Amino acid sequence: MAMQLRRAATDNVIIPVSRGVGYAQPSLEVLSCNTCNIRGGCLAEQLTIAHDHSYQVVKNRKVLSKGNHIFRGGDDTKAIYVVSSGSVKSYMLMEDGEEQVLNFYMPGDVFGLDAMGSSCHISSTVALETTTVCKLPLSGLQDRALGQGFLNMISENLLRDHNLMLMLARKDADGRLASFLIDMSKRIEKLGQPVDVIKLTMTRQDIANYLGLAIETVSRALRRFQDSGMLEVTRREVAIYDFNCLLNIAGTQVTGSCSS
């Protein structure tokens, strides 16, 4: 059967379409993942291309502008999501209408897991900048062996939650901010980016909310870190000069490694 080419509107990937058929052939559609910055360590890739279902990634990829929601609390649970590029904030609205920041998601991170065991999402998620997400419909995951990659991803999310609880319960303002910067540094390291330069796509108000601090406290702590020569802040970019000092201030960290 003759094959035509068309261009996917959302991600500029050329994919084949058989005459009269509305789905793409996995052989060429794999290009959409091969050109992704997080290829090789992405749940979307593991659960689609590895199982000859790569068409799902292109059909369910979406580009969002800053401030656009992926889903809101109370929306029906239909999928989990992987950040392909950009960044995402998750939050909940409290009884008084105030926003409580729950997490920040970077490229390669998976979100929407809080709703996998229920019929609706508990939290809301919004793009912090122009962001591309890949949607993994739950209907396509229920009968598939999720494998080690999925278990590793759940483990990483639990470790991050454990560190957040430890940070809020036991650390002062400097320790909380240092722990946050270390976590951000480790997450960009997984993407092959320099660990000593962090681009903060979230506002200081979001960071303060996430850390359980006042925005003035966060600003003062950053100023102390900068005055000590440990780092330098230029607008929303943080250049770390003394990572060991930052680690000492952060104190105890929960990691995935076990000592013998």
Residues 141 and 178 in one domain: no
Q: What is the CATH number of the domain that holds 53?
A: 2.60.120.10
What pLDDT, on a 0 to 100 scale, did the predictor assign at position 7? 37
Whether 208 shows a pLDDT value over 90: the answer reads yes
- What is the arithmetic mean of pLDDT over 192-205? 91
Give the pLDDT score at 32: 59
Q: Which two tokens stand for residue 132?
A: 């591309």
Amino acid making up residue 175: G
Mean pLDDT of 31-43: 62
Can you say whether residue 134 is alpha, beta or left, with left for phi > 0 and alpha for psi between -120 and 50 degrees? beta
71 in Cβ contact with 112 (< 8 Å): yes
Pair 124, 219 in one domain:
no
* Highest mean pLDDT: which range of 17-21, 127-131, 235-239: 127-131
Share of the chain above pLDDT 90, in %: 36
pLDDT at 97: 81
**Chain-centre distance of CA 189, in angstroms?**
13
Residue 238 lies in a domain: yes
Same domain, 124 and 176: no
Which pLDDT value is given to residue 126? 97
Q: What pLDDT is recorded for position 102? A: 86
Residues 6+ apart with CB under 8 A from 193: none
37: left (phi over 0), alpha (psi -120 to 50) or beta: alpha
Does any domain span residue 159? no
Candidates 31, 37, 67, 35; CA nearest to 49 is 31
Average pLDDT (82-94) is 90
Which segment of 1-10, 67-76, 184-193, 198-207 scores lowest on mean pLDDT?
1-10
| Ranges 150-154, 244-248, 256-260: which has the least confidence | 256-260
224: CATH: 1.10.10.10
Residues 178 and 223 placed together within one structural domain of the fold: yes
For residue 186, the enclosing domain spans: 170-250
Q: Give the domain-ending residue among 107, 129, 145.
A: 145
> Phi and psi (nearest 5°) for 22?
-95, 20
Higher pLDDT, 254 or 247: 247
Tell me what pLDDT residue 59 has: 61
Check whether 219 has a pLDDT greater than 70.
Answer: yes
Domain total in the chain: 2
- Sign, CA dihedral 74-75-79-83, equals negative
Q: Are 175 and 88 within one domain?
A: no
DSSP 46-86: HHHGGGT-THHHHHTEEEE-TT-EEE-TTPBP-EEEEEEES
Last residue of one domain, picked from the residues 145, 178, 196: 145
Q: Which of 14-18, 127-131, 241-245 has the lowest mean pLDDT?
A: 14-18
- The model's pTM is 0.71
